[in-house]
Amino acid sequence: MGVAAQRYWTEVGQHHSGAETTLTNLNRLCNYFGNTMRLDQISDDDVAKLVAWRRAQTARGRKLVRDPQNPKKRIAPPTIAAATVNRSTIEPLQKLFNRAARVWRIPLKNEPDWRKHLLKEPSERVREVRAAEEGAVREAVRRDFLPLVCFARAAGLRLSECLLRKDSVDLAGGRIRTIGKGGKLIDHPITFEMRAILMSEMANPTDYVFTYAAARAKPGKEGHARGARKPITASGLKTMWRRAKNRGGGPSIPADLRFHDLRHDFATKLLRETKNLKLVQKALHHSKIETTTKYAHVLDEEVLAGMEAASRRRLGTSET
């Protein structure tokens, strides 16, 4: 397990757009099974126990969280979602097996039946940022994180794709070129809104576009001064987003609004504006149009308008 995880990380994992998450998942598997556990010894029973163990955990291991209905009260947190269990245990373990069998040519005769262990996930929810929520979201987000949040809404990119290196941005050519989901190369156009945000953020002294101001000084050779600009990371952004929800006083991000919903918001509004599902597919860099059809509900109002127009023509009336 330890050797396989290290080799997978070196050959594949470190190049993922979400490399930080990949490393966390690999470390979790090594800690659970032990570095000396052989892949060909991992059975369906072992995987079932792994899933049960992970399924019982809570987000960030917390024992108590703030009650969304009463911020002064602490309650037991919910366990992690089925999708999180699948993405953080079964899928990375299956990728290790696939790499070992198909690339390293290591025979694994008793490979687990992965489909039996995948938990059923609810249909993906499509959530927009409502007009009444716009101001609260902007006010709740930390000032030094706000440019990144605004960029995510304008670009429609995934979180990991928004954490751009400066050399990924071609302002002259009007393109962003970075690594997306599954190691896919993303070639994304830059709109006037995105350009304004990028130009305002590129002057920082790091190799990354979006940075935050360090709240405290860190001593030592690798340290930094208070207020130094540091690259925003996926975990740092998630922490900021979580803290901005359900604050006891002042503006807060709606409890059911996830950062990924900014991408849904972008897609929904783009489809409503263009009525072109193929265009939205390209803007989101979906490989299959079927993935984009989850936004097709936006066109329901167009269907109704068309039906009404057809009825008026059939009845020979122009009534509305």
Q: What is the pLDDT of residue 306?
A: 82
Q: Among 87, 175, 181, 272, which one carries the catalytic annotation? A: 181
| Domain positions in the chain | 2-117, 142-243
Would the pLDDT of 92 be above 70?
Answer: yes
Q: Each residue of 261-317: pLDDT tens digit? A: 999 999 999 999 999 999 999 999 999 999 899 888 888 877 888 888 888 888 876
Q: Supply the pTM of this predicted model.
A: 0.71
Q: Each residue of 32-86: pLDDT tens digit? A: 999 999 999 999 999 999 999 999 998 766 777 666 666 667 777 788 889 999 9
Cα 37 to Cα 2: distance, rounded to the nearest angstrom: 8
Q: Among 8, 208, 212, 295, which one carries the catalytic annotation? A: 295
Q: Each residue of 167-213: pLDDT tens digit? A: 999 999 999 999 988 788 999 999 999 999 999 999 999 999 999 99
Secondary structure percentages of the chain, helix, strand, coil, to 5? 55, 10, 35
Q: What is the pLDDT of residue 178?
A: 94
Residue 19 has a CB neighbour count (10 Å cut-off) of: 16
Annotation says 166 is catalytic: no
Q: What is the pLDDT of residue 74?
A: 76
Mean pLDDT of 220-240: 87
Q: What is the pLDDT of residue 317?
A: 64
Whether residue 211 contacts residue 201, with contact meaning beta carbons closer than 8 Å, is answered with yes
Q: For residue 12, what pLDDT band results from cuts at 50, 70 and 90?
A: very high
Q: What is the pLDDT of residue 307?
A: 86
Q: State what percent of residues in the chain have pLDDT above 90.
A: 65
Q: For residue 245, what pLDDT band results from cuts at 50, 70 and 90?
A: confident
CA-wise closest residue to 200 among 141, 151, 137, 128: 151
Q: What mean pLDDT value characterizes the chain?
A: 90
Q: What is the pLDDT of residue 215?
A: 84
Q: What is the pLDDT of residue 69?
A: 62
Q: Among 16, 54, 153, 263, which one carries the catalytic annotation? A: 263
Would the pLDDT of 320 be above 60?
Answer: no
Annotation says 158 is catalytic: yes
Which alpha helices (H) appear in the chain, and where do they start and end?
2-11, 19-33, 44-55, 82-85, 91-102, 114-117, 134-140, 146-155, 159-162, 192-201, 234-243, 261-274, 277-284, 289-292, 300-315
3-class secondary structure, 160: helix
Q: Among 260, 269, 272, 294, which one carries the catalytic annotation? A: 260
Q: What is the pLDDT of residue 66?
A: 66
Q: What is the pLDDT of residue 274?
A: 92
CATH number for the domain running over 142-243 = 3.90.15.10
Annotation says 181 is catalytic: yes
Would the pLDDT of 318 be above 80?
Answer: no
Question: If 0-12 CB within 10 Å is exposed, 13-18 middle and 19+ buried, where does residue 77 land?
Answer: middle
Would the pLDDT of 246 be above 80?
Answer: no
Annotation says 263 is catalytic: yes
